[in-house]
Amino acid sequence: MAIKIKSPTFPESVSDGTVANWVKKEGETVLQDDVIAEIETDKVVLEVLAPADGKIAKIHKKEGDVVQSAELIGEFLEGADIRSDDLPKDQKKEQIDLPSAVDDAAQVMADAAQNFTKTGPAAKKIAKEKNIDLNSIDGSGKGGRVTKADVLNYASNNQSDPEKPAITKYNDEKESTSEDRETKRVAMSRIRATIAKRLVEVQQNTAMLTTFNEVDMQPIKNLRKKHGEEFLNEHGVKLGFMGFFVAACVNALGKFPLVNASIDGEDIVYHNFKDIGVAVSTERGLVVPILKDADLMTIPEIESAIFSLAEKAREGKLSIEEMQGGTFTISNGGIFGSLLSTPILNAPQTAILGMHKIEDRPVVVEGEIVVRPMMYLAMSYDHRMLDGKEAVSFLVSVKEQLENPEKLLLNL
């Protein structure tokens, strides 16, 4: 039975998407719930799953084509045993024009060898043209998938003529090469293009300002050292720093509700909930999954939720619902070694907190110079909403709670 393959139904916040990859090709047999295609939106990559056991009968939308919500992208034939009469006319012709039985057997063996590696159809085609064994390439795509770029880079780095300059070709690229120089032009992914557009819009449409402070992380490090193992055994997740920061920000947002508000035209919208965005870096770009109702969560629940969302983000499995909304954002550049930065607002939010690298530095404590693990904090905020007094007071509240965890636990 023929079944229409449609793109996922997008929420109102997503206008369209792009066919990023056909994991399965026309005529290929698939099992129910196999990933057959990937649709990239400006927020996430959505997977299209096989509705049943069967074959891909026809592909209507090629890789790179723009698709609308629930738009027809292909056709599917249900059933484990698909007769040639059930296939579209163009596929019937392909079957009639098959080479001799010997060549056909060789092709099947070659395809089987390639299928040991998770590979897109474009990468398979190029590997076949260049006589490259896909099993010798380390894939950079999701789940270790070998991408078209991986094959081309492998081919460039393994040319037989060492004096011939490497020329790498990509979809819709323009190349400029000479004897010893090379340039390449690659189109942005939808996610990267959207990130670029929104960051520029924020800087153009807000009065963004950044205030700084520093926090002594020794009390929290002592807590983690004392209770970290017990915490892991009890809750099945490590006791990190982010749980303390989320809890401290949630408490501070309760004291300074304007930081948790947003601007809509000439109105200020106050939110009676606290949804905290946690910035996560992935291969496709920066994404911000949301901890919904973080003010109702304990530190163990916060740590578990962050771990789960971060894993989903890196695997490209975040749902759009898990990325929508947010009233305040926390970004941790310290995991990459950043000592200080000025984070950019996540519109339409009013503020964002930037965490940074913990470094041992000499500081004065009760009149004595001691070495402490210090972290710089940066809070960027929209000056249209917040005056310096509110912004600085909010950041000081976060600092005081982190340096005195008993205040954090007692919501003081």
How far is it, in rounded angstroms, from Cα 307 to Cα 301? 10
pLDDT of residue 222: 94
pLDDT of residue 318: 83
Task: Find out whether 35 and 49 touch, Cβ atoms under 8 Å.
Answer: yes
Q: Which domain holds residue 322?
A: 191-409
Task: Find out whether 206 and 381 touch, Cβ atoms under 8 Å.
Answer: no
Q: Are residues 238 and 379 in the same domain?
A: yes
pLDDT of residue 88: 47
Q: Are residues 328 and 385 in the same domain?
A: yes
pLDDT of residue 281: 82
Percent of the chain as helix, strand, coil, to the nearest 5: 35, 25, 35
R_g of the chain, CA atoms, integer Å: 26
Could you tell me the mean pLDDT of each successive run of 10 residues in the chain, 412 residues long?
83 76 87 86 81 88 86 83 50 44 47 51 74 78 71 70 43 52 81 81 90 96 93 92 95 96 92 93 82 94 93 84 90 91 92 96 94 96 94 96 86 67
Among residues 89, 44, 151, 46, the alpha carbon closest in space to that of 36 is found at: 46
Q: Are strands 276-278 and 290-291 parallel, antiparallel or unpaired?
A: antiparallel
Buried b (16+ CB within 10 A) or exposed e, 75-104: bbbbeeebeeebbeeebeeeeeeeeeeeee
Q: Are residues 61 and 145 in the same domain?
A: no
From the candidates 111, 133, 360, 387, give the one annotated as an active-site residue: 387
Q: Are residues 170 and 212 in the same domain?
A: no
383 labelled catalytic: yes
DSSP, collapsed to helix, strand or coil, labels residue 347 as coil
Q: Following DSSP, what letter does each residue of 44-88 receive, concatenated? A: -EEEEEPSSSEEEEEE-S-TT-EE-TT-EEEEEEESSS--GGGS-
Q: Which helix (H) or strand (E) holds 26?
A: none
Q: Are residues 237 and 363 in the same domain?
A: yes
Per-residue pLDDT of 113-163, as tens digits, reads 444 445 666 677 678 777 888 777 877 666 677 777 777 778 777 754 444
pLDDT of residue 81: 57
Q: What is the torsional sign of CA 312, 316, 320, 325? A: positive
235: domain CATH number is 3.30.559.10
Q: Does residue 106 sit within a domain?
A: no
Q: Are residues 292 and 394 in the same domain?
A: yes
Q: Are residues 71 and 213 in the same domain?
A: no
387 labelled catalytic: yes
What separation in angstroms does the CA of 180 have from each of 31, 176, 253? 49, 11, 57
Among residues 126, 128, 112, 119, the alpha carbon closest in space to that of 147 is found at: 119
Q: Are residues 159 and 205 in the same domain?
A: no
From the candidates 60, 235, 271, 383, give the one annotated as an active-site residue: 383
Tell me the residue type at 369. Answer: I
| Domain boundary residue, one of 169, 187, 205 | 187
Q: Which helix (H) or strand (E) holds 205?
A: helix 190-205
Q: How many domains does the chain have?
A: 3
pTM score over 0.85 = no
How many helices and strands (H and E) does the chain possess?
10, 21
Show the beta-strand stretches assigned E in 228-288: 262-264, 267-269, 276-278, 280-282, 285-287
